């Protein structure tokens, strides 16, 4: 397994955001975490990356326990997160953002190769290199956020709400990009509000409710599940237009 969560819980003060969840992601998979806002999906990703400590349970990356490890060390092991809301460094240029993305990498030749690969995926970024990242459009900023993550040459990428706040046309582009990344060998753990589109590109999914996993299964099983169709898929569509 690439990533395993064993009975992981996350607390924010007195609030139990995530309770006793078990999740696994195999190499080469796209796995989606679904569920309403506040169900614990983002908290799960933050806990995996060590940005907020897990209260209990274990996190294993490629079999190695990483619970309680510093974020920067986890990134160096080969896993990173593209955070919700993109959080590109808006006062820095596109070039500088990408350079920071590669800060954990020692091998210069390899960084140059990764850079070229990133530019074939996101040709627009090459045109915008010297521009301040804050001046990019929303779609371009999301591309930069993902590109910046890719610069650390991860084997597992956690993506938190990559389609949030983007125009429908751009959302399509982002999802086909994610599918494309998997084709190229990257393993992806995706958190999305847009359940329909994310299930389409996923192999498996977990459905969160109130900090617990309510349902898990393959794409087709989740898609055909009546509960999902009526509650989550239906609800997601509404909340997406809020």
Interface residue list for another protein (CB under 8 A): 49, 51, 70-72, 75-76, 80-81, 83, 87, 89-92, 96, 99-101, 103-105, 148-149, 152
41 versus 86: smaller Cβ distance to another protein: 86
CB of 42 to another protein, least distance (A): 13
CA-based diameter of the chain, in Å?
51
96 versus 203: smaller Cβ distance to another protein: 96
71 versus 209: smaller Cβ distance to another protein: 71
Residue recorded with tokens 């706040």: 165
CB of 157 to another protein, least distance (A): 11
69 versus 179: smaller Cβ distance to another protein: 69
Report the relative pairing of strands 64-65 and 56-61 from DSSP bridges.
antiparallel
24 versus 93: smaller Cβ distance to another protein: 93
The whole-angstrom separation of Cα 50 and Cα 134 is 27
* CB of 149 closer than 8 Å to CB of 80: yes
71 versus 225: smaller Cβ distance to another protein: 71
CB of 236 to another protein, least distance (A): 26
CB of 101 to another protein, least distance (A): 6
Report the relative pairing of strands 187-191 and 64-65 from DSSP bridges.
unpaired
* CB of 10 closer than 8 Å to CB of 44: yes
* CB of 111 closer than 8 Å to CB of 174: no
CB of 161 to another protein, least distance (A): 15
| Number of CB atoms found within 10 A of residue 186's CB | 18
CB of 178 to another protein, least distance (A): 18
Q: Where are the beta strands (DSSP E) in 118-231?
A: 156-160, 187-191, 204-209, 212-218
């Amino acid at each position: 397994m690439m990533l395993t969560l064993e009975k992981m819980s996350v607390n924010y003060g007195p609030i139990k955001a995530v309770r006793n969840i078990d999740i696994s992601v195999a190499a080469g998979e796209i796995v989606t975490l679904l569920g309403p806002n506040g169900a614990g999906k983002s908290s799960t990703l933050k806990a995996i990356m060590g940005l907020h400590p897990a209260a209990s349970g274990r996190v294993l990356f490629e079999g190695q326990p990483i619970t309680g490890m510093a974020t920067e060390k986890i990134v160096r092991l080969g896993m990173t997160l593209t955070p919700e809301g993109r959080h590109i460094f808006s006062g820095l240029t596109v070039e500088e953002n990408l350079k920071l993305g590669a800060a954990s990498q020692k091998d210069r030749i390899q960084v140059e190769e990764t850079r070229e690969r990133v530019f074939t995926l996101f040709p627009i970024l090459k045109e915008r290199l010297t521009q301040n990242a804050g001046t990019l459009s929303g779609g371009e900023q999301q591309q930069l956020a993902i590109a910046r993550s890719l610069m650390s040459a991860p084997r597992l990428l956690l993506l938190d709400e990559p389609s949030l706040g983007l125009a429908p046309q751009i959302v399509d582009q982002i999802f086909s990009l994610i599918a494309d990344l998997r084709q190229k060998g990257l393993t992806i753990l995706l958190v999305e509000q847009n359940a329909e589109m994310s299930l389409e590109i996923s192999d498996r999914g977990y459905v969160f409710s109130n900090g617990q996993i309510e349902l898990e299964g393959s794409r087709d099983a989740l898609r055909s599940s009546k509960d999902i169709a009526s509650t989550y898929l239906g609800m997601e569509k509404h909340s997406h237009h809020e």
